[in-house]
Chain A
Amino acid sequence: MGRYLLRRLAACLLLVWLVLTGTFFLLHLAPGGPGGALEDPRIPSEQRLRWRELWGLDEPLAAQYARFLGAALRGEWGHSFQHHRPVAAVVAGALPATLLLAGAALGVEWTAGLLLGVAAARRPGSLFDELLRFLSLLLYSLPTFWLGLMAVLLFSFRWPLFPPSHLASVGAEALPPLARLADLGAHLVLPALAIGLPSAAALARFVRGSLVETLGQEFVLAARARGLSGRRVLWGHALRASLAPLSQLFGLSLAFLLSGTLAVEVVFAWPGIGRVTFDALAARDYPVVLATTALSATMVVLGSLVADLLLAWADPRVRRA
C-alpha cells in the first residue's frame, strides 16, 4: 500500500508539472503580450519597460520558466499584474467563496442523485423508471449557466424568493450572526442548485445502474429469503455493496469542484476562483492564471487519487490486487 501510494503521488506530481509547463508555454508563446497597463500607449514606455523588468518579462523564455518553476516549488506565485497584490492573497481571498459554493453544490448533487437513483432502481423497467431516465437525461443536458439564469428569472425576478447575485446582501455585515448566516444561505440556493442538479442527474443514472446490478445478485436474494424488509435490503445491503463504485465517483466530483463552478460564478457575480480566473484570462494576468490553473489541476489529480483510494477502501478486491 505504501509503495502504491508513493508511486501514485509521484505520478500526480508529474501530471501537475506537465499541466503547469503546458500552461506556461501556452501563455507566453501566444501572440500578443500581457494586455492591460503593459501595452497601454498612454503609459510612458519607460514605465512599461520598468514593469517588464520588475515582472521578469524581459528575460529569455527558458530563464523565465526556470524562475517560475523554482518559485512555484517554494510556494511563491508572484504578483498579480492586475490586482497589484500577491497572487497567493488574491487566490486565498477567493477560495472560501468557491469552496462554499462547490460544497453546497456537492450536497445537492449527492442528496438528489442518491434519492433519485435509488427510487428508479426499486422498480427497474417501470414507467417511473423510464420517466426518471428521460428526466435525468434532460437535466444532464442543461447548461449550468442557463439554468442559473432561468432560476434568477423565475425565483428572483418573477417571484422574489432568493437574491439574484453575490454572496451577501449589501449591509449584511451589520446583521446579527444568525441573520447573516440566513442571508448567506439564501444567496447560495440558486447557484448551488444550478451547479448541483445537472450533476445529480448523471449521478442518479449511475446509482440506478449500479444498484440494479447489485439487486440481481445472490446475496440480495439471500437477505430477502432471511425475511429482511425491502427497505433494509435496499439501503443496508444493496446500496452498501454499490458503495465502491460510488465512492470512486465521489472522488471524481471532488476533482471537478473548482472548475465546475466557473460559468455559474460569472452568472451570479460570485466572488470565487472561477471569476478570478475568468477576469485574469481577460486581462492576461499570467501569474494569476498560472496559480489558478495549478490549483485546479492539483484538485483534479488529487481528486482522482482520492477516488482510487476510496475505491480501494470500499472494495477489498481492489486492495488485494
Chain B
Amino acid sequence: MRERGGRRLLLTGAGLAALLLAAALAGPALLPHAPDTQLDPVAARHLPPGSTRLLVTLADGRTLAAERVAPLPGGGLRLTRLGREQHLAASELADAPVRPTRFLLGTDRFGRDLAARLLAGARVSLAVGLAAVAIALTLGIAAGSVAALGGRWLDGVVMRIADAFLAFPRLFLALAAAAFLGPGLPTAIAVLAATGWMGVARLVRAELLSLEGREFAFAARASGLPAGRIFLRHLLPNALTPVFVDAALRLGDTILIEASLSFLGLGIQPPQASWGNLIADGRDALASAWWVAAFPGAALVVAVLAFNLLGEGLRDALDPRRRRPC
C-alpha cells in the first residue's frame, strides 16, 4: 500500500517537474510576444484572463490593442479602441498589421502578456533554483567531506561555521546579504547557495562517518589503497544517494526562498520576470486585477509541489525502512 502511494507521488512529481522544465525551455517559442513587450500600455492594461483583442502593429513597431477593426478604403483601418473610434492611414501601419490575440492569463499594468511573463519567470525561477542547489551541493559535499575526514580540529571548525549559518533564519540572512551586496540574479544565486550548504554538509558528514566504520571501508584500507582513492571510489559514491534525494526537496525550498526574496524586492529585479516579483506586481493591483498575483503564485506552488513530491517519492522508493508496510 505505502509502496504504491510512494510510486504515485514519485510519478506525479516527476511528471509535473518534467512538464515545468519543458515549458520553461520552450518558453519563448510557445508565445507570440516577448515577456517585456508593452503591447498597449493604455488599452491592454489589466485585461482579465481570456480577453481577446485585435493587436494592430504600427509602422514604428508599436502595437495597439483594439476591440474591433474595420478596413477603410485606401488600405487604412478604422479601429475601436477603449470604445473610441480611431482612423489609421495605410502608411502608419506595418505589413499584415492585424493579429487577433487571446490573453489566456490576462495582462499586467503595462499591458504585458502575463502568460509570457509567467513562462519567462519559470525560466528564471527554475534556473536560479537549479544553479543555487548545484552550488550548495558542491559546497556542502566539500565541507562535509573535510569535516568527516579532516580530523577532529577541522571537523569542529567546519561544523561550528555551519551551526552559525544555521542559527540565521535563512530568509533573514538571504535578505541581509542581498540588501548589502546589491540585488540581482547573480546575487540571488550566490546568496541562496551560501545559505543552503549546511544541511548538505551535515548529511554528507554523517554518512561518511558511518560508512567509514563499515567493513568494506576497513577492507579497502587493509588492502593498502591510498586514502584519496578510498574516499573517491568507495566512500563518496555511497554517501551521495541520500544527498541527491534530499536535493529534490531542497530545490523546492530554494525556489520558495527565491520567490520570497524577489517578492520583497531583493531578488530578481524587474523588468526581468521571476514568479516572486510578478506576485509583488500583483500585490499592488490586488483589488482591481487579481490574476496578476494569482497565476504566478499558482505556478510557484505547482513547481514547489512537484519537487516536494519528487523528493518524497524518491525517499520512499530508496529507503527500505519506509517501504515496510506499517
Q: Which residues of A contact B (CB under 8 A)?
A: 14-16, 18-19, 22-23, 26-27, 30-32, 124-125, 130, 133-134, 137-138, 140-143, 145-146, 149-150, 152-153, 157, 212-213, 216, 256, 258-260, 262-263, 266-267, 277-278, 281-282, 284, 289, 293, 296-297, 300-301
Contact = CB atoms under 8 A, between A and B. Distances in A.
Nearest to A148: B283
Contact of A297 (B167, B171, B177, B305): B167
A293 B260 contact: no
13 contacts: A14-B160, A125-B325, A138-B301, A143-B300, A145-B263, A146-B279, A149-B286, A150-B293, A157-B286, A263-B260, A284-B179, A297-B168, A300-B166
B237 interface: no
Contact of B164 (A22, A26, A263): A22
A15 B293 contact: no
B172 A152 contact: no
B300 to A, nearest CB: 6
A134 to B, nearest CB: 8
Nearest to A137: B308
B163 to A, nearest CB: 6
B89 interface: no
Name the 5 nearest CB pairs between A and B, nearest first: A259-B169, A30-B180, A146-B297, A18-B164, A141-B304
A262 B286 contact: no
Given A146-B297, A263-B264, 14 more contacts: A15-B163, A15-B167, A18-B167, A23-B176, A137-B305, A143-B304, A149-B279, A150-B297, A258-B169, A281-B266, A284-B179, A284-B180, A289-B176, A297-B168
B297 A216 contact: no
Interface in B31-60: none
A40 B265 CA distance: 22
Given A150-B297, A152-B286, A259-B172, A278 B264 contact: yes
Contact of A141 (B167, B172, B308): B308
Contact of B326 (A145, A212, A282, A301): A212
Contact of A137 (B179, B293, B309): B309
A296 B172 contact: yes
Nearest to B170: A259
A146 B160 contact: no
Contacts of A141: 252, 256, 301, 304-305, 308
Contacts of B294: 150, 153
B1 interface: yes
Contact size range, B: 35 or more
Classify the interface of chain A: helix, strand, loop or mixed. Answer: helix
Interface in B259-290: 259-260, 263-266, 279, 282-283, 286-287, 290
A138 B176 contact: no
A278 B266 CA distance: 10
B175 A281 contact: yes
Given A145-B260, A150-B294, A19 B164 contact: yes
A263 B280 CA distance: 11
Contacts of B1: 125
Interface of B: 1-2, 5, 9, 160-161, 163-164, 166-169, 171-172, 175-177, 179-182, 252, 256, 259-260, 263-266, 279, 282-283, 286-287, 290, 293-294, 297, 300-301, 304-305, 308-309, 312, 325-326
Contacts of A157: 286-287
A125 B161 CA distance: 42
A18 B160 contact: yes
Q: Name, among B1, B176, B308, the residue most crowded by chain A CB atoms within 10 Å (CB to CB).
A: B176
A142 B166 CA distance: 23
A146 B293 contact: yes
Contacts of B265: 282
Given A153-B286, A262-B171, A293 B176 contact: yes
Contacts of B171: 259, 262-263
Contact of A213 (B175, B259, B293, B326): B326
A124 to B, nearest CB: 6
Contact of B297 (A149, A259, A293): A149
Contacts of B161: 18
Q: Name, among A30, A130, A281, the residue most crowded by chain B CB atoms within 10 Å (CB to CB).
A: A281
Contact of B279 (A138, A145, A278): A145
B260 A143 contact: yes
Contacts of A266: 264
A298 to B, nearest CB: 9
A306 B160 CA distance: 19
Contacts of B312: 137
A15 B165 CA distance: 9
Q: Name, among B1, B169, B294, B309, the residue most crowded by chain A CB atoms within 10 Å (CB to CB).
A: B169
A209 B293 CA distance: 35
A260 B169 contact: yes
Contact of B290 (A22, A125, A153, A267): A153
